[in-house]
Structure 1
């Protein structure tokens, strides 16, 4: 008979206290574990020197930390660093470190692959394998800090996967990331990007997790949006904007909209006018993003078209910027993440989510 160890990475302070009590230890041992795992980023129980040696041995026998392991590390000329990380089951994800962006930013994943199949995104071509645990989400931050030697100031969940399709684990991870006694990233510096799963945004409004939301918009009509984002058929723009107005009222944060510039599809004068109508009564910032090569038939807007569109938005009174493209050379840029190394488990593990949920 084989015994299953309890993975402690991803457990909250209260859960670690309960684990300690179950081992016959006082609850404060759980608080010590919490500090070692998240505050001090310990990779083994042996490092936890204020725990008695007999307890460390018992922890080694009963529990694990299940840290991610590095498979490949590539750096683009602009400093963007892409890390291919492997989990305990052999599945792999990608995370990206962006130094001086400003501050030090890490872009992390929430799923292995993605079920949504957006035309501009390489991750969707993988299909969907599984959700990440809270521990696997948090450990990307811990591992990037360890591997780069940098103190991270910003975390963006804009990597592989749709975070709101993994809502519970993502929200649990957000609380661990923002806890001043843990990873200690300010909630104002954590951003979660979503295609706009309206029912989950409503839940977000009620739960008020410690992060800001960014919306992958990319088109100004339901028809055009659905042509590049199939999930948009389930969530009309009118309903999405109603939820976002509520979100802005509840959180008091501005809402960031991401808008990939695609030639002939969303870069016309009428699109700028439509954006003004769509975003009325929402405090917003629009980030224009260059379309990066992912093997699709879509063509990027020209530099002149992007500059013209920026001018149109500003004329409409919309706060907007053109996001700097970093990491194109090592496929670390927006929309390019794809775990290109072989994934050990067979492709039969892939499955799809019902995007109407």
Structure 2
């Protein structure tokens, strides 16, 4: 049975027409779900009993099941959620100064194989539907009884390897008659799938783009991120440049600092040289260690020196505040432990 959450407002209008219903009912249904937080068709009281039954017979309205929840001292909350087919995914809520930011997952497992990342501990089984991504937001909001203000598609999986479903999700949560999360409060993070970046540059919506770079040169990036052997850093830079020219949008570059791997000050200089002339900023990220990988977090003075050198070389950069260090903070850790029976 199709999930009601798989449908954008326009798609729902078409589905209702096909069922012999008035298309304007779609706005009413959207308001119940996304504004009034009512997820049961039978509680949508301005719909006729007949329409309630029709919806129940044709669409699923179930949210996801919360299997486990970890709450850190800083308020970061990691959810282990169960899909209808029994698959387990993670969603992470971070309390920021600007609001409540939710990091959602786009695939069940991941095939990108980044050597430092917990998400790839379990290989991709399938793509998530747009509705399964939407339901991560709604399930957390239903648990919190509060609104999520920002969403990043940065959890397990590569969003541009599931492009159509991720974009359907984006248009659903951005819908003014629904959750109405502003485009500039939405971010998609890719490890560097150039065809996806190219396609995304033509989307008529001002969603933020983040790219996981994590290295200053091809040698190190090849070691950390197998995708670099397919789309190297020169090609990636060209894609970023084209994206910026086409959209007039600044791009965020994510850079996880790994002790004695990519955190030497000479690599800050290489990175600055690589980024010269691009409208980007670098988000430096302290590493959340993953037992299976053996990488360690850079020392505090090394992180500070790396950041200061980038700033000296006129590269905009920020240091991400650590979230959830006292729980299974890295994407995929909680799910991997549950799947392995730890």
Alignment TM class, shorter chain as reference:
over 0.9
Report which stretch shifted further, 119-128 or 247-256: 247-256
Are 1:50 and 2:55 matched, yes or no?
no
Note if contact 2:194-2:239 (Cα within 8 Å) is conserved in structure 1: yes
Report the Cα offset of residue 223 of structure 1.
1.4
Task: Write out aligned runs for 1:235-314 (5 A).
Answer: 235-295=231-291, 296-314=293-311
Structure 1 CA distance for aligned equivalents of residues 134 and 329 of structure 2:
20
TM-score (norm 1): 0.91
Note if contact 2:121-2:336 (Cα within 8 Å) is conserved in structure 1: no
Note if contact 1:37-1:43 (Cα within 8 Å) is conserved in structure 2: yes
SS of the equivalent of 1:94 reads: strand
Structure 2 CA distance for aligned equivalents of residues 339 and 59 of structure 1:
36
Note if contact 2:106-2:127 (Cα within 8 Å) is conserved in structure 1: yes
Structure 2 CA distance for aligned equivalents of residues 54 and 203 of structure 1:
42
Structure 1 unaligned regions, length at least 5: 345-357
TM-score (norm 2): 0.94
Note if contact 2:80-2:334 (Cα within 8 Å) is conserved in structure 1: no
Are 1:323 and 2:320 matched, yes or no?
yes
SS of the equivalent of 1:151 reads: coil
Are 1:212 and 2:204 matched, yes or no?
no
Note if contact 2:27-2:177 (Cα within 8 Å) is conserved in structure 1: no
Note if contact 1:196-1:216 (Cα within 8 Å) is conserved in structure 2: yes
Structure 2 CA distance for aligned equivalents of residues 335 and 54 of structure 1:
43
Note if contact 1:159-1:337 (Cα within 8 Å) is conserved in structure 2: no
How many residues are matched? 340
Q: In structure 1, which of residues 69, 88, 96 is the aligned counterpart of residue 65 of structure 2?
A: 69
Q: Identify the residue that residue 188 of structure 2 maps to in structure 1.
A: 192
Q: Identify the residue that residue 351 of structure 1 maps to in structure 2.
A: none
Q: In structure 2, which of residues 145, 148, 155 is the aligned counterpart of residue 149 of structure 1?
A: 145
Structure 1 CA distance for aligned equivalents of residues 221 and 24 of structure 2:
52
SS of the equivalent of 2:70 reads: strand
Q: Identify the residue that residue 98 of structure 1 maps to in structure 2.
A: 94
Task: Write out aligned runs for 1:68-217 (5 A).
Answer: 68-217=64-213
| CA separation of 1:218 and 1:6: change in aligned 2, threshold 3 A | closer
SS of the equivalent of 2:338 reads: coil
Give the 4+ runs in structure 1 shifted more than 6 A.
Answer: none
| CA separation of 1:334 and 1:125: change in aligned 2, threshold 3 A | closer
Note if contact 2:119-2:331 (Cα within 8 Å) is conserved in structure 1: no
| CA separation of 1:54 and 1:208: change in aligned 2, threshold 3 A | closer
Q: Identify the residue that residue 25 of structure 1 maps to in structure 2.
A: 21
Q: Deviations over 1:52-78 (max 9, x none)?
A: 012212222222124211111110111
Note if contact 1:84-1:339 (Cα within 8 Å) is conserved in structure 2: no
